[in-house]
Structure 1
Amino acid sequence: MKVTEMVKERRIISIEIIPPKRGEDVENIYRTLDKLMNYDISFISITRHPVEVDYIEYEDKIVKVHKVKRPGTLGLTAALMNRYRIDVVPHLICVGMSKFEMEDMLIDLDIMGVDNVFVIRGETASSVENYKQVRC
């Protein structure tokens, strides 16, 4: 159900989570949500953090690498929708994504049956030095 429809019908309660860092597991999120689901939660928002720049040093060079420190927004969205039978609202920050990457993500979310997406541009590369430049 669309969040705009939920708000018209009743008072809503939502939770915002972030995916675990690379290499960490999702069990802590599940344990926490298992307890919170007793409170008639209307939807869960999942923040997708922007791409950041990292540098890898080799013997003869330094390579600039763009990566997301907390990947898994799409997978976690699907897992939570399936596990809790609840609406999930991905909160997407465009910084670090090309318009094609954003389009691909929106297509994937549509295929998954996501009805609500919160999309913002976020900080620009000129204001945040370690983010990849984007045009979204």
Structure 2
Amino acid sequence: MKVSDFINNTPQGKNFSLEVLPPLKGNGTASLFSTLNRLCEYGPKYINITTHNCEYVYRELENGQFERDRIRRRPGTIAIAAALQNKYSIPVIPHVICSGSTVESIEYELLDLQFLGISNLLLLRGDKAKDDRVFTPTPGGHAHTTDLMAQVNRFNDGFFADGSPIKHPGERFEYGVACYPEKHEEAPNLEMDMAFLKKKQELGARYAVTQLFFDNRKYFDFVKKARTMGITIPIIPGIKPFARLSQLTVVPKVFHCDLPEDLAREVLKCRNDEDAKALGVEWAVQQCRELYQSGVPGIHFYTVSAVDSIEEVARQVL
């Protein structure tokens, strides 16, 4: 089942999706399955699985010096996607990213996904390495999401990246992309950022999922502006409830989104994280109700460190 079928053809209602992380290396799937056992009771239409490629860490040697090494903390995106699809019979959307990947490794990912019968993807550039000032593509990899999209398009048309034909092409991949109501951190302005979104639509993106936001007006303004620019694909709002006092400063820094003044004022009144968590649920409930009333094509919940809150939001809203 293609995800766009759910987005475009499902009667307007309280459709939602989830995004989860693969387990940390060596941790097993018990915690992830426990999370989904709780949230799947509310009927998500599909589940996104993030991809985390290698990152640099520093190891202290016996002589006191430090050695930089690459590790992968959360392997197994494709395997987890297959496991979730099998266990829950819900469409899964693994993230395929440029960061840390070569053209060749991406090609093998696509082949593995076809073998598993997984045909929905979310294509992303991915984050820059922590130690890099700007995003640096992996040697032999892609610098931009649009380059990745072009590779998937060629694969769909029956050709490997080197131009050789695929003898037995499988089911075509369908994909979505990310978008940013408050603009991508590296974009010089919102208009140029949205021009890239339009380019992604022209290349074949069937929908876009937003970065998390706390101000619905920014989402509504973004969608309105997108439509005037000729961007017609569904734009799915991404929501993550505020959960801890520290997020008052962390969220704007990490996710590059503003907290509305009303929310920030209420956070400052909170005495502890429990108060902040309750406030975050209340705020997210109000956001979701307004979004659903406006006729959004669904809501995408980012579950990382917010499972309890999302479960409570779902209980009140869905």
- Scaled to the shorter chain, the TM-score interval is 0.7 to 0.9
Q: What is the number of residues matched between the two proteins?
A: 134
Partner residue of 2:131?
Answer: 129
Normalization by structure 1: what TM-score? Answer: 0.85
Assess, with a 3 A threshold, how the Cα gap between structure 1 residues 52 and 91 changes in structure 2: closer, same or farther.
Answer: same
Q: Which has the higher strand share?
A: 1
Partner residue of 1:9?
Answer: 9
Question: Aligned pair 1:38/2:47, yes or no?
Answer: no
Q: Which is bigger in relative contact order (C-alpha 8 A, separation at least 6)?
A: 1
- Classify the secondary structure of the residue corresponding to 1:100: helix
Q: How much has 1:120 moved relative to structure 2?
A: 0.9
Contact 1:88 1:116 in 2 (8 A): yes
CA RMSD of aligned residues (A): 2.2
Q: Which has the higher helix share?
A: 2
Assess, with a 3 A threshold, how the Cα gap between structure 1 residues 123 and 36 changes in structure 2: closer, same or farther.
Answer: closer
Normalization by structure 2: what TM-score? Answer: 0.39
Identity %, equivalent residues: 34
Q: How much has 1:62 moved relative to structure 2?
A: 5.3
Could you tell me which of 74, 78, 86 is aligned with 2:90? 86
- Classify the secondary structure of the residue corresponding to 1:50: coil
Q: How much has 1:82 moved relative to structure 2?
A: 0.8
Unmatched tracts of structure 1, length 5 or more: none
Contact 1:51 1:132 in 2 (8 A): no
Could you tell me which of 74, 83, 93 is aligned with 1:70? 74
Contact 2:98 2:137 in 1 (8 A): no
Give the residue type in structure 2 aligned to 1:41. Answer: P
Partner residue of 1:55?
Answer: 58
- Classify the secondary structure of the residue corresponding to 1:48: coil
After the TM superposition, which parts of structure 1 deviate over 3 Å for at least 4 consecutive aligned residues? 55-64, 130-133
Q: How much has 1:40 moved relative to structure 2?
A: 1.7
- 1:70-107 deviation line (CA, Å, top 9, x unaligned): 11111111110111111000123321111111111111
Contact 2:53 2:75 in 1 (8 A): no
Contact 1:15 1:45 in 2 (8 A): yes
**Which has the larger Rg?**
2
Unmatched tracts of structure 2, length 5 or more: 143-318
